[in-house]
Amino acid sequence: MNDINPYGGGEPPVYKPFPVSWEELHRYSKALAWRLIERGPWSGLIAITRGGMVPAAIIARELDLRVIDTLCVASYEEMAQGELQILKDVKQDVGDGERWLIVDDLVDTGKTARAVRDRLPKAHFATVYAKPAGRPLVDTFVTEVSQDTWILFPWDTEPQAVAPIAKAATRPR
């Protein structure tokens, strides 16, 4: 793995853009809550920041969870995966994570998920989206996308005109 291509090799990967609207993210987060309600009860929820905060808020509401913490992790700079940093650990007394629910937006290469699993091995890890490389590290997810998909979350985008797929460059800039 290197700074140019998180999946190995020297050339930047070609990504397939996959835009997600606020409505879609809400619907999939609620679907994730439906899958998780049967696995509770939960002592609380830990959102992986920043991407997991929106799905975590929706899931916390749907599961009526009031004890919420964050595990603040940085592993991306723009579209490049960099060195993983834990910026803030959980504050709650969660022990090994038993009966705790961890929520993130996406598991990609599994780098963040491995670090979270090391900290909280008995927690239940749930994501809205999963890519094949990280999928074995999560317990519950809603939608699997290919490894070469780049999910464009609504907080990272704004409406604008785009070229048709056949004419658009798919390499990140």
Q: Is 150 annotated as a binding residue?
A: yes
DSSP E strands, 25-122: 44-49, 68-77, 80-88, 100-107
Q: Are 163 and 30 in contact (CB under 8 A)?
A: no
Q: Are 115 and 145 in contact (CB under 8 A)?
A: no
Q: Is 134 annotated as a binding residue?
A: no
Q: Is 112 annotated as a binding residue?
A: yes
State yes or no: is 69 an active-site residue. no
Q: Is 105 annotated as a binding residue?
A: yes
Q: Is 137 annotated as a binding residue?
A: no
In the set 108, 139, 148, 156, the catalytic residue is 108
In the set 3, 69, 96, 105, the catalytic residue is 105
In the set 64, 69, 104, 139, the catalytic residue is 104
State yes or no: is 64 an active-site residue. no
Q: Is 118 annotated as a binding residue?
A: no
Q: Is 110 annotated as a binding residue?
A: yes
State yes or no: is 105 an active-site residue. yes
Q: Are 160 and 17 in contact (CB under 8 A)?
A: no
Q: Is 10 annotated as a binding residue?
A: no
Tokens of 135: 């999928």
Q: How many CB atoms lie within 10 A of CB 147?
A: 16
**Cα–Cα distances in angstroms (integers) from residue 160 to residues 23, 98, 106, 157, 163, in the given order:** 18, 44, 24, 9, 10
State the binding site for xanthine: 108, 151
Active site residues: 104-105, 108
Annotated binding site: 50-51, 104-112, 150-151
Q: Binding-site residues for 5-phospho-alpha-D-ribose 1-diphosphate, please? A: 50-51, 104-112
